[in-house]
Amino acid sequence: MDILNQEYVKGFIRLMTDGSNRGWHERNGGNLSYRLTLNEAEIIKANTTPDSNWFSIGTTVPELCEEMFLITGTGKFFKNAAEYPEETIGIIEIDSKGENYRILWGFLNGGRPTSELPTHLMNHEVKKKWTNNRHRVIYHAHTTNIISLTFILPQTDEVFTRQLWDMMPECPVVFPEGLGVIEWMVPGGEEIGMKTSKMMEEYNIVIWSNHGTFCSEETFDFTFGLMDTVEKAAEMLIKVLSINPNKQPVMTSDQLRALGSKYNVSINPKFLK
C-alpha cells in the first residue's frame, strides 16, 4: 500500500503546491493539517510501524484522543512537497490523553511537525465539535494582501469583515460568518493557539496581524478556495484604498440580508446594523 497514492495525501500536497504558486509560502512559511477519517486511520494503522517516541504537543486536546493527522513539518518548504513528500510532511497519532503525539509515517531524516502544532490541534478540536465532525482541514498561509491590510485598517473583526464583504458578492456568501482579527502575538505556542481557537468557534477565518491567515473547512478545495477568496478581496481592497484611503463599506446591511436570503446563507447578524 503506497501512502502517497491515498486521495487525501494527494489533495494535501496539491494544496501545498497551489499555495506555494500563489506566493503565500516564502521559505518555510505557512503550515497545513488534515484530520484523517476513521477508515483512513485504520489503513495507516495496518500499514505502518509507529515511532517508539512520544512527544509533548504543548497543550492538551482531549477531544482528539487517538485521532491521526497529516501535517506539514517544521522548517520545511511548501514548494518541496510534491518532489520530497516524505521529508516535508508526516502522519502523527495523538495519545489516549490528548497530551502527546507519535510519528507514524513521513518526517524522514529527523523531521517533526510544524511549530504551530498546538494552534492546529486546538482549532481542529473546536471545529470537530462545532461543525459536528465535518471540518477536517486547517490551513495557515502568509497571504500578502491580508497581512498588508493589517497595517492599514483598524484591527477589528467588524471593520475587516464589512470591508472585505464589500469587495464582491461572493465574499458574504463564501464567509457569511465574517472573520476574526488577532493583534500581533508571538507565534508558535499555546497562548496564540487558545486565542485563535476561541475565534474559530464563531469564524472559519482568523487573521493574525502582521503575520498571516488561518482558515478551516471540510475539504482541501473548500479550504484553499476560502483562503483564495479572502486574499483576492484583500488585494482589491488594497487597490481601492490606495486611491481612496477613506473608503467606507458600500453594501448596506439590507443588501447583505437580501444576498443572504437569495443564496440561503446566514449572514452574521452582529455585523448588520
Please answer whether residues 209 and 183 qualify as being in contact, where contact means their C-beta atoms are separated by less than 8 angstroms.
yes
143 vs 229 by CB, closer to Zn ion: 143
Residues 91 to 130 in contact with Zn ion, rule: CB under 5 A = none
Q: Is 212 in the site for Zn ion (CB under 5 A)?
A: yes
Q: Alpha-carbon distance 128 to 126, whole Å?
A: 6
* Cell reading at 231: 486574499
85 vs 212 by CB, closer to Zn ion: 212
Question: Least separation, in Å, of the C-beta of 189 and Zn ion?
Answer: 13
79 vs 162 by CB, closer to Zn ion: 79
Q: Cα 165 to chain center, whole Å?
A: 19
Question: Least separation, in Å, of the C-beta of 210 and Zn ion?
Answer: 10
Q: Which stretch binds Zn ion (CB under 5 A): 14-22, 84-92, 150-158, 212-220?
A: 212-220
Q: Is 193 in the site for Zn ion (CB under 5 A)?
A: no
6 vs 144 by CB, closer to Zn ion: 144
Contacts of 195 (CB under 8 A, 6+ apart): 182, 185
Q: Which stretch binds Zn ion (CB under 5 A): 32-40, 174-182, 211-219, 239-247?
A: 211-219
Concerning whether 218 is annotated as a catalytic residue, the answer is: no
Question: Least separation, in Å, of the C-beta of 125 and Zn ion?
Answer: 20
Unique residue bearing C-alpha cell 505502518: 48
Question: Least separation, in Å, of the C-beta of 116 and Zn ion?
Answer: 7
Question: Which among 116, 125, 217, 231 is annotated as catalytic?
Answer: 116
Q: Alpha-carbon distance 93 to 50, whole Å?
A: 9
How big is the site for Zn ion, counted in residues (CB under 5 A)?
1
Q: Which stretch binds Zn ion (CB under 5 A): 174-182, 194-202, 206-214, 220-228?
A: 206-214
73 vs 212 by CB, closer to Zn ion: 212
Question: Least separation, in Å, of the C-beta of 208 and Zn ion?
Answer: 7
118 vs 212 by CB, closer to Zn ion: 212
Provide the 10 A C-beta neighbour count for residue 132: 8
Question: Least separation, in Å, of the C-beta of 27 and Zn ion?
Answer: 11
- Residue 156 sits at the vertex; the CA angle it makes with 222 and 180, to the nearest 5 degrees, is 25
Binding region for Zn ion (CB under 5 A): 212
Residues involved in catalysis: 116
